[in-house]
Amino acid sequence: MKRIITATVQNRSGVLNRITGLLQKRQFNIESISVGRTDVEGISKMTFVVDVVDSQKLEQVTKQLNKQIDVLKVSDITDKAIVSRELALIKIVSSAQLRSEIQGIIEPFRATIIDVSKDSLSVQVTGKPEKIEALIDLLRPYGIKELARTGMTAFLRGQQPQVTELTPYSLLK
Amino acid sequence: MRAEVKPGIHTGTKSKTGADLLVESLIKEEVKTIFGYPGGAVLPIYDALYRAGDAFDHILTRHEQGAIHAAEGYARVSGKPGVVIATSGPGATNLVTGIADAMMDSLPLVVFTGQVARGVIGTDAFQEADIMGITTPITKHNYQVQSVSDLPRIVREAFHIASTGRPGPVVVDIPKDISANPADGNYDDSFHLPGYQPTIKPNPLQIKKLADSLAKAKKPVILAGAGIIIGKASEELIALAEKFSLPVTTTLLGLGGFPGNHSLALGMAGMHGTYAANTALYECDLLINIGARFDDRLTGNLKHFAPNATVAHIDIDPAEIGKNVTTHIPVVSDSKAAIKALLTHAKEGPDHDDWLIGINGNRDNYPLWYNNPKEEMIPQWLLESIHKVTDGNAIVTTDVGQHQMWAAQYYTFNKPNRWVTSGGLGTMGFGFPAAIGAQLAAPKDTVVAVVGDGGFQMTMQELSVLQERGLPVKVIIVNNGALGMVRQWQETFYEKRYSHSLLDVQPDFVKLAEAYQIKGMRIDTQEELIHSLPDLFAYEGPVVVDCRVLQQENVYPMIAPGKGLNEMIGVKP
């Protein structure tokens, strides 16, 4: 099962290596990982999507991450009310004649053309990974020259529903 | 207490160097003993040590692996962090096995490695190795010092992290320019680790749940791990067991945490554990694990591990709870605090005399056993004899393998911190250098290094340290001319195809000892052993004893790999 996990970490050299190394050592499969600074100096936030077989394995992931000294907080936010986004840059083969056709395809996705050359154009799209997949599928027939994705980043919505069926991974359960 | 550090003479100035700061920090941490080996990248540190005079006892081992295993032995016996210094590149990589070993067995170590100067890191400079990258997965934490002003704080953090919570090794990598350059400022060494706050006190709700389960249990059993020893909770454990008549079995590393001669002691559990212990774990309805990590060598096949039990697990490391065995009552806590809370809250349960009678019956009817044809030296008998002559009071260190299991089975430990063995990683060559560290931590105690003929040959260069220091370590080579456990598995599971496990050619261990001006002796028969053993242990200096034991002897009883606790073979008929 795919889980979205966020970690607040101290921005020290080697921290990314610690975390990816740990996930690899414990045989957790990382689908995507994104890292960036937060508003607090010295603190970064990581979002990863991991594929785990069961809840016991998931509990191990969060506990092992929490054990890292540079990791301040780990949350599995999959089952919560969240906003999650990913950005993708897609470079496709395109002549001047095709440009407006492509424009028509990407518009409902609220994607934008950010670079144009003689025989290609580049599209920027943000959204949930499924939306990005859908756009990529639509653009594939034109010939994708290059594709870059940031991986998902996410956090909790400002307001959480009153009743949620959460599986707590707290030790106090 | 605080020795005055003389300023760096080699720099031609009166200023202190980064290395002097390191020495000051070590003095502040009350470090007395350092295990190490000099080299290019730590020359400034060794110069500062030289100028610090007799502030430290520096043990120069003959290989970095010897230094780190000695530090492990020191840490296990003293309970204090073992301190190691090695140079960059090969010096640092030679420590890797010991660091991994300490990580697996939760031993506090603070390891200082030299590094090439900051300006050339990443250029494949002479004797450069990415020791941060190499040790990240096998340390509790590691640091590379990027600024001399961070050094005092990092040293304090390193000692704090290594010795609190679940102990473990911490590596501090110090570039040569940091240790060599002047360091005159007043550096703040206060620290705050928001991401490291171990839970020490148990959650009262979980203690209540455990107390309630105990009050209902008809077949309770305690499994005591190294957490008892590290948490100094032996007395509390004895009180708990006696108050509620709870039988206690220990893990390999937990030996000594509960007195082996106690009427409630079942001995060691696991692959080569006792029938009584394994049967109790299999049949129990309440299993209270205190400070053990449900290692696969203990549990056997998880399907057959405590199948009908409510499992309570007390551990200071939350990640150990529920890792291998489904746990119903998790208690994240220091072992001592948890047992004390349990003693306060638990109430007498139903009478479980039948359970105890059954267990005692198993213990009396199916004890550890071996055949003893008097014409050969039988290794189990050898270990029993050593136990007898030392009154069970010696500190015993071992490598990994047959001799380790026989020591665990036949050298009954009644006190904690007497048993130094490589459990999790199973490191050959551990026992002898660990004995050096153990002897330094406990100079007045008898220290016996029980080693195999294979393992001893991996680290026997440390005989130099015995010679130099006159440390009275008694080295007992359980010499069966084979890598015994490998040979046993090849006999049992590979139809006696002894592939590269027989050591037909060996050095003359007596002459080897004598080459280091150490008393050496070879013993072939039981008679000789009975005759010489008391003298050997009465002798004040170091001794190397080459004990020729029967090669074909195997470790029993046994749970074969993939089998469950209820499928033991080799139990006394």
B568 SS3 class: coil
- A72 touching B, CB under 8 A? yes
Contact B193 A67 (CB under 8 A): no
Contact B140 A69 (CB under 8 A): yes
**CA triple B141-B146-B152, angle to 5 deg:** 70
Backbone angles phi, psi at B296, to 5 degrees: -65, -30
Per-residue pLDDT at B13 exceeds 60: no
Task: Domain B204-366: give its CATH superfamily.
Answer: TPP-binding domain (3.40.50.1220)
pLDDT score recorded for residue A95? 86
Amino acid residing at B511: K
Closest CA to B98 of B49, B125, B123, B134: B134
pLDDT score recorded for residue B504? 93
Chain B residues inside the 8 Å CB shell of A70 = 195
> B300 CA to chain A: closest CA distance, Å?
19
User: What is the average per-residue pLDDT within B468-495?
Assistant: 97
Burial-class residue B110 by CB neighbours within 10 Å (0-12, 13-18, 19+): buried
User: What is the average per-residue pLDDT within A142-162?
Assistant: 91
Closest CA to B174 of B146, B139, B149, B133: B146
Q: Where are the beta strands (DSSP E) in chain A?
A: 2-10, 29-37, 43-51, 71-76, 82-93, 112-116, 120-127, 144-149, 153-156
Per-residue pLDDT at B1 exceeds 50: no
| Helices assigned H by DSSP within A26-108 | 55-67, 99-106
What residues does B331 pair with on adjacent strands?
A: B314
pLDDT score recorded for residue B369? 96
Q: Is the dihedral of CA A72, A74, A80, A85 positive or negative?
A: positive
Per-residue pLDDT at A166 exceeds 70: no
Per-residue pLDDT at B512 exceeds 60: yes
**Cβ within 8 Å of residue B343, ≥6 positions away:** B236, B239, B240, B243
The residues of chain B that CATH labels 3.40.50.1220 are: 204-366
User: What is the average per-residue pLDDT within B415-437?
Assistant: 98
Interface test with A, best of B115, B141, B192, B209 (most A CBs within 10 A): B141
**A97/B259: higher pLDDT:** B259
Cα–Cα distance list, B115 to A125, B92, B172, B174, B502 (Å)? 45, 9, 10, 5, 41
Contact A172 B195 (CB under 8 A): no
> B333 CA to chain A: closest CA distance, Å?
11
Backbone angles phi, psi at B476, to 5 degrees: -105, 110
B260-310 pLDDT per residue, tens: 999 999 999 999 999 999 999 999 999 999 999 999 999 999 999 999 999
Cβ atoms of residues B451 and B474 within 8 Å:
no
> A64 CA to chain B: closest CA distance, Å?
6
> B136 CA to chain A: closest CA distance, Å?
6
- A69 touching B, CB under 8 A? yes
Q: What is the CATH number of domain A84-149?
A: 3.30.70.1150
Question: CB-CB: which of A10, A22, A171 is closest to B330?
Answer: A171
> Please, which residues 19-58 of chain A have a Cβ atom closer than 8 Å to chain B?
21-22, 25, 56
> What is the pLDDT confidence band of residue B11, given thresholds at 50, 70 and 90?
very low
Cβ atoms of residues A10 and A68 within 8 Å:
no
Q: Which of A51-60, B130-139, B369-378 has the highest mean pLDDT?
A: B130-139
Chain B residues inside the 8 Å CB shell of A69 = 140-141, 161, 193, 195-196
pLDDT score recorded for residue B2? 46
What percent of chain A has a predicted confidence (pLDDT) above 70?
94
pLDDT score recorded for residue B348? 85
pLDDT score recorded for residue B14? 61
As a whole number, the mean pLDDT across chain B is: 96
Chain B residues inside the 8 Å CB shell of A18 = 136
Per-residue pLDDT at B195 exceeds 60: yes
Report the C-alpha gap between B430 and B512 in whole angstroms: 19
Question: CB-CB: which of A21, A22, A56 is closest to B322?
Answer: A56
Contact B136 A14 (CB under 8 A): yes
> B393 CA to chain A: closest CA distance, Å?
37
Q: Assign 3-state DSSP to chain B and report helix, strand, coil percentages, each to 5.
A: 40, 15, 40
Contact A60 B323 (CB under 8 A): yes
pLDDT-wise least confident of A51-55, A68-72, B308-312: A51-55
> A147 CA to chain B: closest CA distance, Å?
30
B149-170 pLDDT per residue, tens: 999 999 999 999 999 999 999 9
For domain B18-180, say whether CATH 3.40.50.970 is its number.
Answer: yes
Contact A72 B194 (CB under 8 A): yes
> What is the pLDDT confidence band of residue A168, given thresholds at 50, 70 and 90?
low
B504 SS3 class: coil
Cβ atoms of residues B105 and B74 within 8 Å:
no
- Count A/B contacts: CB-CB distance under 8 Å: 48
The residues of B annotated as belonging to the active site are: 64, 126-127, 176, 485
Question: CB-CB: which of A14, A18, A69 is closest to B161?
Answer: A69
> B168 CA to chain A: closest CA distance, Å?
12
Residue in B with minimal Cα distance to A72 = B195
The question of ipTM being above 0.85 is answered as yes
For domain A2-81+157-171, say whether CATH 3.90.180.10 is its number.
Answer: no
Contact B318 A68 (CB under 8 A): no
> What is the pLDDT confidence band of residue B137, given thresholds at 50, 70 and 90?
very high
pLDDT score recorded for residue B361? 97
**Cβ within 8 Å of residue B261, ≥6 positions away:** B392, B412, B414
Chain B residues inside the 8 Å CB shell of A21 = 136-137
Take residue B526 and report the two structure tokens written for it.
């039981």
**B350/B478: higher pLDDT:** B478
pLDDT score recorded for residue B184? 86
Residue in A with minimal Cα distance to B207 = A172
Cβ atoms of residues B571 and B557 within 8 Å:
yes
Residue in B with minimal Cα distance to A10 = B195
**Cβ within 8 Å of residue B263, ≥6 positions away:** none
pLDDT score recorded for residue A27? 85
Question: CB-CB: which of A59, A69, A172 is closest to B141?
Answer: A69
Per-residue pLDDT at B371 exceeds 50: yes
Take residue B97 and report the two structure tokens written for it.
């096995």
Cβ neighbours of B116 (radius 10 Å) = 22
B518-572 pLDDT per residue, tens: 999 999 999 999 999 999 999 999 999 999 999 999 999 999 999 999 999 999 9
Domain boundaries, chain A: 2-81+157-171, 84-149
Architecture of domain B379-555: 3-Layer(aba) Sandwich (3.40)
Report the C-alpha gap between B180 and B45 in whole angstroms: 8
Report the C-alpha gap between A114 and B180 in whole angstroms: 52
Per-residue pLDDT at B238 exceeds 60: yes
Cα–Cα distance list, A125 to A101, A141, A155 (Å)? 17, 18, 19
B167-181 pLDDT per residue, tens: 999 999 999 999 999
Report the C-alpha gap between A64 and B175 in whole angstroms: 30
- B317 touching A, CB under 8 A? yes
Chain B residues inside the 8 Å CB shell of A20 = none
Report the C-alpha gap between B343 and B37 in whole angstroms: 48
Per-residue pLDDT at B12 exceeds 60: no
User: What is the average per-residue pLDDT within A111-131?
Assistant: 94
Chain B residues inside the 8 Å CB shell of A68 = 195
pLDDT score recorded for residue A40? 95
User: What is the average per-residue pLDDT within A81-109?
Assistant: 93
Question: Model's pTM, two decimal places?
Answer: 0.94
Report the C-alpha gap between B365 and B413 in whole angstroms: 22
| Helices assigned H by DSSP within chain A | 15-25, 55-67, 99-106, 129-139
Contact B132 A172 (CB under 8 A): no
User: What is the average per-residue pLDDT within B221-233?
Assistant: 98
The DSSP annotation for B399-466 comes to -SSHHHHHHHHHS---STT-EE---SS--TT-HHHHHHHHHHHSTTS-EEEEEEHHHHHHHGGGHHHH
pLDDT score recorded for residue A173? 45
Take residue B77 and report the two structure tokens written for it.
């016996």
